[in-house]
């Protein structure tokens, strides 16, 4: 196999919860589509990804089930057979601007060639790829929007020593992410006792992802998305049941709880 464009370390370091790609997708004989991919969580083992497809104006959204992808799997998505690919470097103009890329031209068995452009500054999926056959482009995908993700900038400090709430990402409704993080920071202390038994650091848990539903009335509903032992899960559920948020709007959000090494 030809060497992939990025290493596991490069992918892991570039990916934070909230990282989002929006692609314009065109295929011969089919309506144009808009494809959105969100990294709703990331830890030492990989990333939790949600994706959806819609019309270019954002209507008629069809969402895929969330999936966890390991860093090895993410790296190997771009591991092409040496006999069928030509690797080079080039500069491409996209809607994000001009990007220096690692370029792979993959020859298919049906006479088509698909060219992938992986931006050196954005380890992850290709920022552009197109398939050409008989001198005609029959499929094209290009990144039209990109958000790097990362921590929300809030003034309220967390009360826990092990657990820190790094960010919230709105999924539905009018959730104010920064207000949500600020409202939850003072309510984190009780989580420390729950997560203390979990292994942390290299090869450990690293972070927990949870989906929170806000009604604007106070009590919230929290569903843990990360696998943990039953005892830890029941402890977390009791803490989540006591959370209250009144000032961050209504709807659903994904939150990332990072665990300090130990």
Which two tokens mark 261? Answer: 């090494």
Report the candidate in 12, 20, 13 with the shortest Cα–Cα distance to residue 171: 20
What is the total residue count of the chain? Answer: 262
Query: Residue 252 corresponds to which tokens in the numbers above?
Result: 């659903």
Alpha helix positions (H), 54-138: 71-76
Main-chain phi, psi angles of 110, to 5 degrees: -100, 15
pLDDT in tens, 96-137: 889 999 999 999 999 999 999 999 999 999 999 999 999 999
At 4-13, the pLDDT tens digits run 999 999 999 9
CA 98 to each of CA 14, 17, 20, 22, 128: distance values in angstroms, whole numbers, following the listed order: 19, 25, 19, 17, 12
Collect all residues with Cβ–Cβ distance below 8 Å to 211 and sequence separation of at least 6.
171, 222, 223, 225, 252, 253, 254, 255
Distance in angstroms (rounded) separating the CA atoms of residues 198 and 205? 7
CA distance 125 to 19: 12
Residue reference for tokens 């709880």: 257
Separation of alpha carbons 93 and 73, rounded Å: 28
- pTM exceeding 0.85: no
And the tokens for 196? 């203390």
Residue-wise pLDDT tens digits, 12-23: 999 988 889 999
Nearest one of 258, 255, 232, 235 to 245, comparing CA atoms: 255
Average pLDDT across the chain, whole number:
90
Domains contained in the chain, CATH given: 8-147 (2.40.360.20), 163-259 (no CATH)
Tally of CA atoms within 13 A in the half-sphere of 243 that contains its CB: 29
Look at phi and psi of residue 160 and say left if phi exceeds 0, alpha if psi is from -120 to 50, else beta: beta
pLDDT tops 60 at residue 262: no
């Amino acid at each position: 196999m030809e060497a992939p464009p990025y290493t596991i370390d490069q992918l892991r370091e570039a990916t934070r919860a909230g990282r989002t790609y929006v692609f314009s997708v065109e295929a011969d004989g089919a309506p144009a589509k808009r494809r959105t991919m969100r990294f709703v969580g990331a830890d030492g083992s990989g990333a939790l990804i949600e994706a959806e497809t819609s019309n270019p104006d954002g209507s008629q959204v069809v969402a895929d089930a969330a999936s966890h992808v390991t860093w090895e799997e993410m790296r190997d998505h771009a591991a092409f057979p040496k006999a069928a690919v030509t690797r080079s470097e080039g500069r491409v103009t996209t809607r994000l601007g001009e990007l220096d890329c690692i370029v792979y031209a993959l020859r298919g068995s049906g006479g088509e060639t698909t060219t992938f452009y992986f931006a050196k500054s954005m380890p992850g999926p290709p920022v552009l790829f197109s398939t050409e056959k008989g001198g005609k482009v029959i499929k094209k995908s290009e990144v039209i929007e990109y958000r790097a993700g990362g921590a929300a900038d809030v003034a309220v400090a967390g009360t826990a020593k092990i657990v820190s709430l790094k960010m919230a990402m709105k999924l539905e409704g009018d959730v104010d992410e920064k207000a949500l993080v600020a409202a939850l920071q003072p309510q984190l202390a009780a989580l420390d006792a729950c997560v203390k038994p979990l292994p942390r650091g290299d090869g450990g848990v690293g972070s927990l992802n949870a989906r929170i539903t806000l009604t604007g009335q106070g009590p919230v509903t929290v569903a843990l998305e990360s696998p943990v032992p039953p005892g830890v899960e029941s402890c977390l559920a009791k803490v989540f049941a006591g959370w209250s948020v009144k000032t961050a709007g209504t709807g659903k959000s994904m939150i990332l709880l990072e665990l300090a090494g130990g």
